[in-house]
Structure 1
Amino acid sequence: MLNPRKLTALLSLIIAATLSGCSGGNGEMNHMHAESNMSMEPIKVEMSWSPLQVAAGQKVVFEALVTQDGQPVDDAKEVLFEIVSNNNSESKLEFTGESAGNGIYKAEGTMEAEGEFTVTSHVTARTQHSMPSKKLVVQP
């Protein structure tokens, strides 16, 4: 069993080692960050669906065009289409977008019910998150 003096010395040594490890004295972290050419320009998401006029029970293709600095973003970590009924906020559908190339992400789903919905695309790419929304009216 350690006496209080030895325990204090051991704890001091552990704390000193931990703090010195966090200082980044060798500059490696700063160098890695400087090499990363990550743009600070926000990602832009343009959402659409096809067909434009949707009927209940019809298959719909949801699409998000993701760009940054005018260039397509093909390395998004997540693209999710969330569809919430404007009449019943507990009624929600989610479809995961898959890359189709050139910054385009697509998901296919069926809109079973008629009514007004809010479609929100949740896009996480390049340390950023964008959530544009649009209204979708599903006809009977």
Structure 2
Amino acid sequence: MSSLVLASCGKDNKNDDPIPVKTHVVSVRVAGRDLAGLGAELQVTSQLVAGGKSQEGPQAADQYIDTADKTYNIGTFSNADVVTATIAFKNVTRTSSPRPPLSSALAVVFIIDGQTNQSVTLDAKGIGSGVSYTPYLSGTTAVQMDKL
């Protein structure tokens, strides 16, 4: 009669090490010109998602009188988080004055891990991806961290 004994000398096959969570450093850059009287503003919101639960994350808001030229460091985000940026001309509706001058523009660009990403621009045309009148002229863009 023979018997065989197997023994393990190293780590077992179970992997108890946590899976590293990928993170992204997020900023938004706002640039604008000839904004006088338009009610130009920025709103940044974020949703942090962990364990199937969502909560509000870092936010930023600002208003611009004539020009805009600023970068806002929003924070570090993980896989399931979402960051949304909305720019607006709050004094501009489809049917009211003032109208944006041809030379006016307001843009927001996401900078993720040092690289430019999603963006949206408002200008005198009032059209484009993410641009709408709700009821005032606004533009929204968002970044889902798990899509990067």
Larger radius of gyration: 1
Q: Larger strand proportion, structure 1 or 2?
A: 2
Same fold (TM over 0.5): no
Category of TM-score, reference length = shorter chain: 0.3 to 0.5
Q: Larger helix proportion, structure 1 or 2?
A: 1
Which structure is richer in relative contact order (CA contacts within 8 A, separation 6 or more)?
2
